Every structure is written in C-alpha cells, then in structure tokens.
A = this chain, B = another copy of it.
Amino acid sequence: MPRQTKPKPLASKAAAQRADQSLSTHDTGPRVVDEVDTRYLQTLMGYNARRAALSIIEVFLERLAPYGLKPVDFSVMSTICHNPGVTSRQLCNTLNLLPPNLVGLIQSLESRGLIERKPHPHDGRAVGLHATPKGQALMVQAEQTATELELEKTAKLTPAQRKTLLALLQKIYL
C-alpha cells in the first residue's frame, strides 16, 4: 500500500537539457519541463536526510505493523527495554518528544500489557517504566525485523559506508 505517488523513472536521454541552473532566467514564456532538475535541493542536508528518513519509515510502517508499533512506539518501547525504570521525562529528553504526546502512547503500551509502571524509588512524582516479559519478547522480534529492514533499505551501501553514514548523521543532531 503505497502512501505516496511514486516518481516515474526519469528519461535519461533528456539529461542534457538541464544546463542552466541559475535562478534568474528572466524567461516568462510558456515552457515544457522534460526532466525536473533537483540539483540544488540535493545539496541541502535537511532535504536529503528527510527524504532518506521518509523512505525508510515508509517500509518501517509496513513491516512493523504486525507488531502494532509505529516508529515512535518502537523507539519508546526499545528505550524502555534497554533502560528498565526509565521515566517519561527521560524518554522525552532522549527521543525529543513532548510530554503531552507521550501520555497516550504510554497508556496504550500499558493497556496492551507491554509495559508496567512502577513507583520511582526516590522521586514520588516520577514513574519508572518497565517492559513486561510480553513486551520484551515482542521487542526482540520487532528489533530483529527493524534491523533486517534497515539493512535492505541500505543495501546499496557497503558495511563501511553504512557505518560512516551513521556516524556522520550523529555529528549533526547529537
């Protein structure tokens, strides 16, 4: 189930058309565009990172749907599994989420029996989040599926390139 219209394969014969990349062509008459020139946008990291992320997330949504997990659910569950007792506030800070948007998500995971809320040992305001055995078992499978899917989507990259790409991306947002 494609969520977007898929770009048609470009007619490579028309590559020679795109010669003038200047912004101010001062041309006002009607014109037919044979092949769309996106060379400027492709110099922008934000554009490329967003397109790459959406490309992966599109497949992620399909493959993880059987687990009832969307990307944010997945990252929250994974972080809880790897950090038993983590609080909502810590999840927000770590994953760049807003507290109000996490409330319903946590409640949903709890009602599905994937996590448990336990009182925080030292802070009466906070609540520690723990994955149940059911939640842990689900995430073992989900993380394996996610990792497989990621390797597929980055199949054009060598392992070294993949490692490089991860490191460079982290230099931007960390």
Q: Among the listed B8, B43, B71, B75, which residue makes an inter-chain contact with A147, where contact means beta carbons less than 8 Å apart?
A: B43
A93-B51 CB under 8 A given contacts A30-B119, A32-B85 = no
| Distance in angstroms between the alpha carbons of A73 and B85 in the assembled complex | 42
A115-127 interface bits toward B, Cβ cutoff 8 Å, 1 = contact, 0 = none: 0001111100000
**Which residues of chain B are near A82, meaning CB under 8 Å?**
21, 23, 37-40
- Chain B residues positioned under 8 Å from A140 (CB to CB): 23-24
Bound-state CA distance A119–B27 (Å) is 15
Q: Tell whether, in the assembled complex, residue A150 and residue B83 are in contact, meaning their CB atoms are under 8 Å apart.
A: no
Chain B CB within 8 A of A53 CB: yes
| Given A41-B78, A46-B53, A52-B53, 12 additional A-B pairs, CB 8 A | A21-B82, A31-B130, A32-B121, A32-B122, A37-B82, A42-B166, A45-B154, A45-B165, A45-B169, A48-B166, A55-B173, A56-B172
Interface residues of A (CB under 8 A from B): 4-8, 21, 23-25, 27-28, 30-33, 36-57, 60, 71, 75, 78-79, 81-87, 90-94, 96-99, 118-122, 128, 130, 136-137, 139-140, 143, 146-147, 150, 153-154, 156-157, 161-162, 164-166, 168-173
